[in-house]
A and B are shown apart, each in its own frame.
Chain A
Amino acid sequence: MIDSYLIERMFNNEPFLDEMATDQGKISSHWERLAKYYEQLGSEKMGQFHEEVGRQLRENGVTYNVYGDPNGMNRPWILDPVPMVFGGEEWEGIEKGLVQRTNLLNLVLSDLYGAQTLIKEGLIPFELVYNHKGFLRQAHNIKLDGDQQLIQYSSDLARGPDGKMWVLHDRTDAPSGAGYTFENRAAMTRVFPDLIRENHVRKITSYYQTFKNTLGNLTTNNKENPRIVLLSPGPTNETFFEHAYISSFMGFTLAFGEDLTVSDGYVWLKTIKGLEKVDVLIRRVDDVFCDPLEFKSDSHLGVVGLMEAVRQKKVLVINPLGSRVLENPGLMAFLPKLSRHLLGEDLIIPSVATWWCGQPRELSYVFEHMESLVIRNIYRGTNHKSVFGGSLSKAELEALKKEIRRSPYLYVGQEMVDFSTTPSWINNKLEARNAVFRSYVVADTENKDYKVMPGGLSRSSPEKGAFLVSNQTGGISKDTWVLGKAKDAVSVAMKPLSIQPLVRNVLPSRTGERLFWLGRYLERSAYTVRLMRMTLLSYNEADEDIHIQENPVLNTLLQTLTSMTGTFPGFSDKSILKNPEPELIALVRDADKSGSLAYSVQCFLANAFAVRDRLSLDTWRILDSISEELGRMRMSVTTVQQAYQSLDSMIVKLMAFYGLNIDNMTREPTWHLLNIGRFIESAVNNCTILKGMLSKSFDTESNKELMEDTLRCNESLVTYRYRYRSNLEMHGVLSLLMLHEDNPRALIFQLLEIDHHLRTLPNQGEGELFGGERKKLLEAITKIRLCDIDRLSEPNAKTKAYQELTAFLDEIVELLHDTSDVVYEKYFSHTGSNYRTMQTSVIPEI
């Protein structure tokens, strides 16, 4: 395995250096152990380990969302089982270089938002800063306490042909990827424990310890017990997995813009208990999206008034708003001089060679060498893609030149770096792939220093010789190993985590709302499966040539199905009834059809994804398999027979989800809201089925069959037989499904469960007056307990219909809806975040 890699290396004459081997095929010393290990392991075993790594990540639910790809939601994260490796000695240099660069950028940042001496002295061109959209005038003169303004810093590095590491990009706004680094390491540790131990791979956990200490150190409000919130753009963001992961790992509260509000100059988290003050906001939302009042007015990802709260020093935002001005490739051209000026040192790690077009000489250089340069806008944004000059046609080159001539200061030309290759496990063998390494640096404010994570996130290109590496375009991630012991191996002591228990109890209203819906969609899916199963059975048993309208049982089942799923007209339409198969199949697999099983399961999964920080790891494994099942259902169900089979496996998995949560969810509001949703949904569906199936009377045989199906739908047929040991009778069926407090399928049981869970919610304490939701519920419970089952099980003599029963069930459903509305109003209403902008115009009226 290694030999073929080396031979390839020696004879292929690649322009790139290789991380493991020299051009002469000699293995670098820090790779020796690894190479030997792979050699002994052999391809077959390595292939198994590769699969194991993938399985670990998948089961941990590690995903990455790809924008603009309809199937891109939650693409699994891909990890190469072969790491990127740095020897201890080389790492020391890299570490020093990164600390130096962070210090330098920090000084630049402080100056740009303060005195601007660097601009006045001509060390940084004025246009480079004032034209950069990351230079936020609103943030001028706003400082964190202390000298460190840049708290988190990341850069992408690669090894150039001269063997040195080069910085390709600086990331200073809201650097991502550190969470994935941890998941990568966790998966690698599980699969290659010996290899990691024997190679003395350095641990990366100190990064978050330092980060947490720094946050505690920086907060001015509530220093002992700061409430730290991670502001995420939401579940559709590409790195949402990481936001949830970091939040649960660090004990931060995961929140979206709509969960927060500014009032009295403070930032507040809307929780189901009411408003809770926020002390620190770690933002993963880009700068100008953070406050629609002061920045991008159409942003719905931010917190209105946040910037003013920052000015008031009532909240700490990390990284500070405005830090993005450093994500500016034009700045790279000036860093060597700035380093000498500000630090009195040469830059240890050079940046990739950069020519800023705002200067005449550099502009003409870029124009002359355009075909060998990458042209970038100084501001990284979706509208500003970097282009490789060599890939442009003559006309495109001219058009680009025209653009540059118009605003030269917005562009840089950068050298195309041939980054080094590293062994990668591709197509079941080791192949050389170009790789980029992302480093993570965090301020250690206690020691007025910066700490570098000994490791990071490396990414390699799936294609040979490709130089653009990004997860958005399908890169492969690699764990990054720094070998050897740290010189200062003293680990940073975690401060006592007194904040944790407090933080855990906070449930943002929006998360609560999602949990409520999670419960509802879970039950909706389960009831749909059960009723669908009965319907399909009856459909298969029916004679081919019979008119459905003349088959009271099948007809009733179909009508009930339509009304329970709310998919009118459905089977109430005679033409659909004539040929019911397409509708039945659509009700199973068509995820675009609101009310179908696929739709409900999809909503269930979407809600689960949004609250993933609240669910356990094993739960994720089940969700993963539900998601797979749904995929199969949507792809392959084309006949009634296939539909039936897929129902069986779906219900088992849905129930496994619930069962697992019974087992491992703490009895907090999280659990109670899930159950309130679940039992409200069950009770409503229970009523709908009773009403749909039993409201009419037919011939004795049909009536019996309908009662039997109703019991089956509620999985209560066995109980019935056991209890009554008699023929099916309306009286018995209704008693069992409505009144038996020990039957989990009985309406009364479900209502009592709602009441039980409601009681545990905040603002429901003992001795307090009953809230509106419990009054409504109590009314329903009492009605059921007092109902006259004899009258309800007696059909109207004339119409043969169970009118009393229908009316009674309607009343109960009405009360359930009222309960649900009040719960909504009380606990989730302040999630309402519909806002709009208004502004005066200066258009005069004459």
Chain B
Amino acid sequence: MRYQVVHVTNYLYEVPATLCHNLMFQVPQDLPFQKVEEYLCEISPKPSFEVQRIDFFGNKYLYFSVARSHKKLTVTSKSTLELSKPAWDSADPSETMPWEQVVEWLHSTEASSEIRQFYLESNHVQLIDGIAEYARQSFTPDRPIMEAMLDLNGRIFKDFAFTPGFTDISTPLEKVFEHKKGVCQDFAHFSLACLRSLGLAARYVSGYIETFPPPGKPKLVGSDASHAWIAVYVPGLDWVEFDATNNLLVSDNHLRVAVGRDFADVTPLKGIVYAGKEQEMKVSVDVQALEEEEEE
């Protein structure tokens, strides 16, 4: 599948901002099953300084600053991606390694720090009381890891209500767990906490899903803005992605941008702005499936 993504972020100020510094995580990942054909970024007003870098987790990000007075900041990311089905799509979940063995392997020096770092707690993913017990209902002894994960994914989807407005970035996980309400990032953080409480390595994935589904298929939740889901490390299959918000094993209609321990590592756009009173922020994401000429 080929997609075109247009991600626009607008900041409006009543009193002009005199200076802003920003970090932007919007460059899509280049993966065996996700080829970036084109990526373009437009920033207005033109930054006085910008540099593209790679972070600790391997994500490309952009640092830029605008050092002149402005009432509006617009950041537009345009990308064209070609997606194919990842290897895990055809794997048999019941044939994957029992999850305890994965835990054991992860805790040996055989596993690299690049993978192991994702079983540790992080700011938004705290191992709160009761979370391991919740996870263990799916992760029963000797169960193959992917099978158990699909079960957990389904339970979270069933138990939690997708409720925009109930949570924000600072809502603690306890509250999400208690009320069983939230949006995609809460679903993702909760899934991560479940897995990490068992000692499994799991990371946060930020990206997009298709805005207008093909005829006859339902529109997926979280399609009008950035979306978030998770990836679990499964030996032999690498990072396998699950979307609890839509109860899906991710395949070729999730577009990946960045990975991290949690939201804070990969915030699509964050910044610090001087002066700039009464700000308003608008984000729009448009994901279109492109005609695939070769197949026609």
Contact = CB atoms under 8 A, between A and B. Distances in A.
Contacts of A130: 113, 116-117, 120
B36 interface: no
Interface in A93-121: 116, 119-121
Contacts of B23: 293-294
Contacts of A841: 168-169, 185
Given A838-B273, A840-B267, A264 B48 contact: yes
B127 to A, nearest CB: 6
B99 interface: no
A346 interface: no
Contacts of B22: 293
Interface in B107-125: 109, 112-113, 116-117, 120-121
> Of residues A130, A261, A264, A840, which shows the largest number of chain B Cβ atoms within 10 Å of its Cβ?
A840
Interface residues of A, number: 43
B279 A838 contact: yes
A842 B224 contact: no
B251 interface: no
A407 B9 CA distance: 39
Interface stretch (B51-59, B80-88, B150-158): B51-59
B1 interface: no
B235 interface: no
Contact of B275 (A137, A264, A312, A832): A832
Given A842-B228, A843-B225, A846-B221, A304 B272 contact: yes
Sort A-B residue pairs by CB-CB distance and give the 7 closest, nearest first.
A839-B270, A137-B56, A844-B225, A842-B226, A305-B21, A835-B274, A840-B268
A120 B224 contact: no
A845 B164 CA distance: 7
Contacts of A837: 270-272
A127 interface: yes
A844 B286 CA distance: 12
A437 B206 CA distance: 50
Interface string B253-296: 00000000001000111111111100101010000000000000
21 contacts: A120-B109, A120-B113, A126-B117, A130-B113, A137-B56, A138-B56, A263-B67, A305-B21, A308-B21, A308-B63, A407-B121, A835-B274, A836-B276, A838-B281, A840-B9, A842-B185, A842-B206, A843-B167, A843-B168, A844-B164, A844-B224
Interface in B164-181: 164-165, 167-169
Contacts of B272: 292-293, 297, 304, 835-838
Contacts of A264: 48-49, 67
A298 to B, nearest CB: 11
Nearest to A841: B169
Contact of B127 (A116, A312, A407, A844): A407
> Of residues A137, A263, A832, A843, which shows the largest number of chain B Cβ atoms within 10 Å of its Cβ?
A843
Contacts of A126: 109, 113, 116-117
B105 interface: no
B65 interface: yes
Interface of A: 116, 119-122, 126-127, 130-131, 137-138, 140, 261-265, 292-294, 297, 304-305, 308, 311-312, 406-407, 832-846
A109 to B, nearest CB: 17
A842 B227 contact: yes
Given A262-B21, A834-B275, A840 B65 contact: no
A831 B23 CA distance: 24
B169 A835 contact: no
A844 B183 contact: yes
Contacts of B169: 839, 841
B19 interface: yes
Given A261-B19, A293-B21, A837-B272, A842 B127 contact: no
B204 to A, nearest CB: 10
B121 to A, nearest CB: 7
A844 B274 contact: no
Contacts of B121: 131, 407
Interface string B221-249: 11111111000000000000000000000
B98 to A, nearest CB: 22
Nearest to B109: A122
Contacts of A293: 21-23, 270-272
A406 B127 contact: yes
B184 interface: yes
Given A121-B109, A126-B117, A294-B23, 4 more contacts: A137-B55, A293-B23, A839-B267, A844-B222
A231 B7 CA distance: 39
A119 B116 CA distance: 12
Interface residues of chain B: helix, strand, loop or mixed (majority): mixed
Contacts of A407: 121, 127
Given A116-B113, A844-B227, A845-B225, A839 B269 contact: yes
Contact of A838 (B11, B117, B164, B227): B11
Nearest to B219: A846
Contacts of B67: 263-264
A846 B281 CA distance: 17
Contact of A840 (B165, B276, B283): B283
A265 B51 CA distance: 10
Given A293-B21, A293-B23, A308-B63, A840 B270 contact: yes
A3 B60 CA distance: 72
Contacts of B227: 842, 844
A122 B112 CA distance: 11
A407 to B, nearest CB: 7
Nearest to B228: A842
A140 B56 contact: yes
Nearest to A130: B117
Contact of B21 (A304, A833, A842, A846): A304
A312 B65 CA distance: 14
Contacts of A842: 183-185, 206, 222, 225-228, 263, 268
> Of residues A127, A833, A836, which shows the largest number of chain B Cβ atoms within 10 Å of its Cβ?
A836
Contacts of A835: 272-275
Contacts of B51: 265, 308, 312
Contacts of B268: 840, 842
Contacts of A263: 19, 48-49, 65, 67
A171 to B, nearest CB: 25
Contacts of A292: 272
Contact of B120 (A131, A297, A845, A846): A131
A89 B11 CA distance: 67
A843 B267 contact: no
Nearest to B108: A122
Contacts of B117: 126, 130
A616 B109 CA distance: 59
B108 to A, nearest CB: 9
Nearest to A133: B123
A843 B164 contact: yes
A843 B183 contact: yes
Nearest to A842: B226
Interface string B1-34: 0000000010100000001011100000000000
B182 to A, nearest CB: 9
A528 B19 CA distance: 41
A131 B120 CA distance: 7
B11 to A, nearest CB: 7
A297 B222 CA distance: 27
A294 to B, nearest CB: 7
A406 B109 CA distance: 21
A646 to B, nearest CB: 44
Contact of A119 (B19, B113, B206): B113
A845 B225 CA distance: 7
A836 B283 contact: no
B141 to A, nearest CB: 21
A712 B252 CA distance: 89
A261 to B, nearest CB: 7
Contact of A127 (B120, B228, B271): B120
B21 A840 contact: no
A836 B273 contact: yes
